[in-house]
Amino acid sequence: MGKTTLLRQVISEIPVSAGGFFTEEVRVLGKRVGFDIVTLDGQRAPLAREGWPSPYRVGRYGVDRDALEGVGVAALQRALERRRLLVVDEIGKMEMCSGAFLRVIEEALQQGVPLLGTIMAAPHPFADKVKSLPGVWVLPVLPSSREQVQEQVRRWVNALREGGEGTAHPGG
């Protein structure tokens, strides 16, 4: 179970008003060829594919910024407007190709709207800024800590659902 699986499992176990998206690998004959955006309300769009001609590139993938903004960012914006829990998988290089994505993440954090997501571990100015903000907790998911982290996240989401403080530490 990885980070995305952990998020999906917690969200499916605890009924909470949430909006946002997950990224899913796209595989052909067992080989990863790209990624799709899948919103919590079931919309799907291609995020990136090997060999796509795009001015936005991450490694061997061309990123479809229009799909990211039209589906993924739109789902985040709807959740933000309703002050719902934002689910973001992930704050990574592909997603950060979009200024609209960056703005909605910053807006959610500034407004104190709860955000549950994954974020790239590698150094990056925007990701580093997010990780260093007061009220943001980064819980590394390692094989040895996976169950503990899942329980911490489950307690945090459950507290949100019950009307508890959304900025409380996930482990507290």
Instruction: Give the DSSP H or E segment for 24.
Output: strand 18-28
Q: How far is CA 74 from CA 20, 84, 168, in A?
A: 8, 14, 27
Q: Which has the higher per-residue pLDDT, 97 or 16?
A: 97
Amino acid 164: pLDDT: 57
Fold of 3-161: Rossmann fold (3.40.50)
User: What type of residue sits at position 115?
Assistant: L
Residue 127 confidence (pLDDT) above 60: yes
Quote the CA–CA distance of 87 and 145 in Å, as a whole number.
21
Helical pair 74-81 and 99-111, crossing angle rounded to 10 deg? 20
**pLDDT tens-digit profile of 147-162?**
899 899 989 888 887 7
Domain boundaries, the chain: 3-161
Tokens 């061309």 — which residue? 62
**pLDDT tens-digit profile of 52-97?**
999 999 999 999 999 999 999 999 999 999 988 999 999 999 999 9
The predicted model scores a pTM of 0.89
